[in-house]
Amino acid sequence: MALIAIPTDLLDTIKAHAEATYPKECCGLLVGVTAPDGMVHVQRVVPSPNTTQKNQKDSFEVDAKVRFDVMRSHENTDQDIVGHYHSHPDHPAKPSKTDIDMAFEPEFVWMIVAVDQGLATDVKAWRLDLENRSSTPLTLLVSQAE
């Protein structure tokens, strides 16, 4: 099973963002490195406004400007966008049909935060495959410092 490592403070940032945007979905980018063994190390999270034109209670879209700014800021570094996060208000932290329909980058980590009645309760990480209409769970390792 693939591994994703994230420091506690970054995970706390994601949970706080999810709680602050409830009952709508939050979203943002995961920035870091992928080791030769495939382990993903998240070193920074970049919150984004949810710019979807659909219902923000069950869909999200990362602001294109945020994504391009992050891409530009990490040119000529070892860091890159390794995935994104979003919340599921009053739903489990597992990929929805909508999520799988949006899975155009199979190497990306999809971190999903379940938010029940405004409180972040569960966080899971996944890899999604649009072609096979499937999701694969990742092992989430939370550390004090990365």
CATH code of the domain covering residue 91: 3.40.140.10
pLDDT at position 145, please? 64
Residue 104 DSSP symbol: -
Q: How many domains does the chain have?
A: 1
pLDDT at residue 1 tops 70: no
Rounded to whole angstroms, how far apart are CA atoms 30 and 81?
6
| pTM listed for this prediction | 0.95
pLDDT at residue 99 tops 70: yes
Tokens of 108: 């990306």
Confirm if 35 and 146 have CB atoms less than 8 A apart: no
Rounded mean pLDDT, 38-66? 96
Tokens of 143: 């550390």
Full domain range(s) for residue 116: 3-143
pLDDT at residue 117 tops 70: yes
Of residues 7, 87, 94, 84, the one with CA closest to residue 43:
7
pLDDT at position 146, please? 46
Rounded mean pLDDT, 29-35? 97
Tokens of 60: 């999200």
